[in-house]
Amino acid sequence: MRIGIVNDSTIAVEALRRTLAQRPGLEVAWVAHDGAQAVALCAPVPPDLVLMDLVMPVMDGVAATREIMRRTPCPILIVTSDVGHHASLVFDAMGAGAVDAVDTPVLGTPGRARPASSLLAKIEAIAAQQADARVPPPVVAPATAKGTDALVAIGASAGGPAALATLLGRLPANFAAGVIVVQHVDDAFAPGMATWLDQQTSLSVRLAQAGERPRAGVVLLAGGNRHLRVEASGRCVYTDEPTQAVYRPSIDVFLQSVAENWRARAVGVLLTGMGRDGAAGLGAMRSQGFITIAQDRATSAVYGMPKAAAEAGAASEILALPTIAPQLVALFGTV
């Protein structure tokens, strides 16, 4: 796996080099000391992964992420000194197409060191996601059943925060359907993302709690490193199964549960993201007669998941991001 490092700190670069050296198969492709240099180095041959700092001279990590995803898309992992302190920038970078974020490892004595295990785990997960993207989606057998209220079931990954802000921001406060969102995000960032999204829309956004039902005017965001499902009762539940799923939470697991258990009106929406998580679940929903929407290529920060859904025939409609909310309002109305 060829990895590009983007960081203006010599100490941080050395820490990242030593971290990558701990795993066979991880190779430093190049080192850039600012965002503009990273964009230029990605141009000839994009690496398999870019480790991107946020605060740098010339071009910051958010702008560099946006440019790389526009010109030569490749997986980008935000690696910065304090993810919590830079939460707003992290969400901006994820909205531009970054897949995840983690604190920079710190070398030194045990009392002052920050272990490299979290970064290595993120890299391994991204490698697994890339492998999953090359595997055709499974053939989904029709489900047997069809809550109690109208539901919009949304899945998103890389580029998702910005896309969700746009979509949810265009829904009125009196929107007549409940909304559940599964966004690929580290469980440490989920509460902050719920708070951030709540500021982008007139709807109420919060983390989904086990046992609650979706209701009109409320957006429930999957939280924690577990899968979210809806039961036949319409209640949300968290589960560790299937344990072999590449993504946690998995969009496929969530949408499949909607296809199997939701007995009222529902629409499935698959937004920007890397890989193909959600394509099979969206197909399961369509096979049960639900309307299914995939974001189009032109407005997707990363045209991976929506493309997989479109190619599999899982989407009954392919829509530009700005038109999805008006379509949902036309379908469900207001209260």
Euclidean distance between CA atoms 256 and 102, whole angstroms: 30
Euclidean distance between CA atoms 171 and 191, whole angstroms: 21
The DSSP-derived string for 249-297 is: S-HHHHHHHHHHH--S-EEEEE-SBSS-TTHHHHHHHHHTT-EEEEE-T
In the residue annotation, 157 being an active-site residue is answered as: yes
**Catalytic residue, candidates 184, 250, 257, 300:** 184
Euclidean distance between CA atoms 291 and 316, whole angstroms: 6
In the residue annotation, 8 being an active-site residue is answered as: no
Burial 104-113, CB ≥16 within 10 A → b, else e = bbeeeeeeee
Distance in angstroms between the alpha carbons of the first and the last residue of the chain:
52
In the residue annotation, 277 being an active-site residue is answered as: yes
**Catalytic residue, candidates 33, 277, 296, 300:** 277
Cβ-contact 209, 180 below 8 angstroms: no
**Catalytic residue, candidates 33, 157, 296, 300:** 157
DSSP assigned state of 175? B
Catalogue the active-site residues. Answer: 157, 184, 277
